[in-house]
Each structure stands twice: as C-alpha cells, then as structure tokens.
Amino acid sequence: MAGIYVHIPFCKSKCSYCDFASFPDKLCYAESYMACVYREMAKRKDELKDYTFETLYIGGGTPSVIDERYIAMLVAAAKKNFKLADDAEITIEMNPGTVSAGKIATYKKCGINRFSVGLQTAVDKQLADIGRIHTLNEFVYCAKLLKGENFSADVMFGLKGQTAEDVVNTIKTAAAFGASHISAYALTPEDGTPIYTDYLNGELPDGDEAAAMYNAGVEALKTLGFERYEVSNFCKKGKESRHNLNYWERGEYIGFGVSASSHINNVRFTNTFDLDEYFKCICSDNFAVINSEAIDAEGQEEEYIMLRLRTAKGLDTEKFKSLYGADFKEKYSAQLKKLTPYLECTEQAVKIKDEFLFVQNSIIVEFFN
C-alpha cells in the first residue's frame, strides 16, 4: 500500500511544546507555498505513475488556517498527478480555532472524508498554558460541524497541572461529541522549545505520573468502546487511520512540502525544514530533499520489527517470513526468551503485552542489543 503526505507549515501562533516545521508569521506566503507544492507534485508524477495511492494526509502545521480553496486545489492536484484509489482515505488536520462551516463544506465537497482535530485537553487553562489558540468551546463548535463525519481527536497527557481525571474528562468530551478515533500522546519537552524550561524546573508531571495518566486514559477509552490498535491510537471498530496503518506496515509514502519525509522503494528521504530553501529549490525546478538513505536488507528487517511491535496486533511471523525469508521465532529466540515476561506469543504473532505497550521503546531496543 502507498500513501501521500502533504505538509502545510503555517499556524496562527507557535504552541509552547512545538518543534514541528510551522511558521506562525509566514501565513502571507500560503499562496506561493501551495503553488510550489502543486509543482513538486507534478515533478514526481512520472516517477510514481505505477502507484495507486490509498491515502492522502494533509497535515502540518495547521492546514485549516489557510484559505480552503488552496486545500481544494491541493486535492485536485493530487488526483490530477497521481492515481488515487476510488475509496481513498483523505484526511485533513484542523485546529478548532481556525474552522468554519464554509471551510468544512469545501473540504467535504473536494473529497476529504476524514478530519483530525487537535483538542489536546478539555481544560481551558491548560490549553492557554501550552499556547493553543482555541478553547474547549471552539472544539465543541468544530465537533458539532463535523457531526456524522469520520473524525479523530488528539489528546495530550503530561501537561503542567494536569491530572489523570483531566485526561479521562478530555477523552469523554471528545467521545461525547462524536470522535470515532482518539490519538493520545505524551507531551515530549524538546530542547529549544519554551516548555523545556518548565521541564528543567521540574514543573511537568514525572514519568510515573504521565504513565498513570496514560493508563487512566486507556481504561476510559476501553469503557467507551475504543480499541487500541497502536500504542497511542484508539478507535471505534473499523475507524483505524489507514494512513498511519501504512506507516506501521513499513509501507511506502511520498511527502510534499517543507520537512515532509518519504519512503519509496526502500529509500527514505526528507525535504528541507527551511521555508526559504524550499521556495528556492522548487522555483529553480529542483527537488528540496536534504537527506536520503537507502535502507539495506538488515535495516529493512529492523524497521519492520520496530514498527510492528508498536501495534496491538504485533508482528505476524508468516508475513515476516514472506518478507525476510527467516523464521522470526528462531532468529530472535534469545531475545524472545529474555523478554518473555513482556511478550505474548501465539502461533502466528508476537506482540508486546497490553500493559507494557506504554514502555515499548525499552522493550523493542532489546531486539537489537
């Protein structure tokens, strides 16, 4: 399977935890930027003519901050340059502080059929603390506009002053207003972001407190009928994000725009994070790739193990054999023995036990020591 990702790097203002390629003071360049993205797509047209793309994901940044006509033109450009499956999943990320009935009507009209809304927390003070531009009421307004649509809500835990009860209430709010998919991510204080100071000052919840919030969230989600299909992703039956499932299958994808990464034909490559550089490259009829790495056979196998063990279904040993020609349980018998308390092994699958998924990184790393 293959997907398309497009990065829209504009936001109204910068959240205090954000280290994505997003430029709050550059919205005036949106039109030129989108023209470059359409051009970049056209340049990849021939190279990707044999692919049928099953997903298109418009992420950011805040795609909903730019004029909705650019989004409609973007979907049209994707359809014009590439073969998009008839039932393709087309997702747009939205910030509740930037939506309107008109925007959502345009999105639906141009074929967008999945919406990913950044709620983060239902506590207004916490939203303000992390620099989000919206309130809980604006989320509710947005959710009402999306009534009956396939929509996901992002929830964060580990915020300053947040309790497990706050996380549970946020999840209940998202579910009550119709979210059929919830992504629950731990706040990661990256060096260089304003929130890193709070982290250094010991003002953020510690690892145990964050784990307690996550566990409380997982329980609430279960009670509300959401199934976990990846460590941070939960959904009602059949509402998995096909775009993300492809990442965890080590599938192929092509990225367009600043900072977008791609994985085509066992080569991983990434575009520049610098907006001016992106303009310069595309306008001079070049690509904007800053690094590219061919993944060798060993690397492909490692990636597959790492990605599959993040998922609730785990690693399918038959599929592993068909891909890499080896018996997973035999090849990794020493690791499987050492990690026995953390793993669940059935005839055809190896997965991390539910209760240890939150700390999957420290378990997965053992496979490569």
| Interacting residues with ligand SF4 (CB under 6 A) | 11, 14-15, 18, 20, 22, 60-62, 95
Question: C-alpha dihedral over 91, 225, 356, 319, to 10 degrees?
Answer: -60
Closest distance of CB 241 from ligand SF4, Å: 17
For residue 121, give both structure tokens: 């927390």
Closest distance of CB 75 from ligand SF4, Å: 21
For residue 270, give both structure tokens: 């990434």
Query: How far is the C-alpha of 235 from the C-alpha of 221, rounded, in Å?
Result: 9
**Three-state SS for 128?**
helix
For residue 73, give both structure tokens: 């033109």
Q: The tokens 């496979």 sit on which residue?
A: 367
CB nearer to ligand SF4: pick between 189 and 314: 189
CB nearer to ligand SF4: pick between 126 and 335: 126
Could you give the count of Cα atoms lying within 13 Å of 147 in the half-sphere of its Cβ?
5
For residue 366, give both structure tokens: 């053992």
Closest distance of CB 62 from ligand SF4, Å: 5
68 forms beta bridges with none
Whether omega before 118 lies within 30 degrees of 0, making that bond cis, reads: no
Residue pair 7/257 in contact (Cβ under 8 Å)? The answer is yes
Q: The tokens 């990913």 sit on which residue?
A: 116
Measure CA of the first residue to CA of the last residue in the chain; give whole Å: 31
CB nearer to ligand SF4: pick between 18 and 309: 18
192-200, Cβ contacts within 8 angstroms, sequence gap of 24 or more: 192/19, 193/16, 193/17, 193/18, 193/19, 194/16, 194/17, 194/131, 195/16, 195/17, 195/130, 198/160
Closest distance of CB 99 from ligand SF4, Å: 13
CB nearer to ligand SF4: pick between 62 and 241: 62
Closest distance of CB 131 from ligand SF4, Å: 7
CB nearer to ligand SF4: pick between 20 and 70: 20
CB nearer to ligand SF4: pick between 21 and 36: 21
Instruction: Look up residue 357 and give its DSSP letter.
Output: G
Query: How far is the C-alpha of 63 from the C-alpha of 69, rounded, in Å?
Result: 11
CB nearer to ligand SF4: pick between 66 and 218: 66
CB nearer to ligand SF4: pick between 127 and 235: 127
Closest distance of CB 21 from ligand SF4, Å: 8
For residue 80, give both structure tokens: 């014009």
Closest distance of CB 19 from ligand SF4, Å: 8
Q: Whats the size of the chain, residue-wise?
A: 369
CB nearer to ligand SF4: pick between 12 and 172: 12
Residue pair 184/153 in contact (Cβ under 8 Å)? The answer is no
Closest distance of CB 14 from ligand SF4, Å: 5
Closest distance of CB 296 from ligand SF4, Å: 33
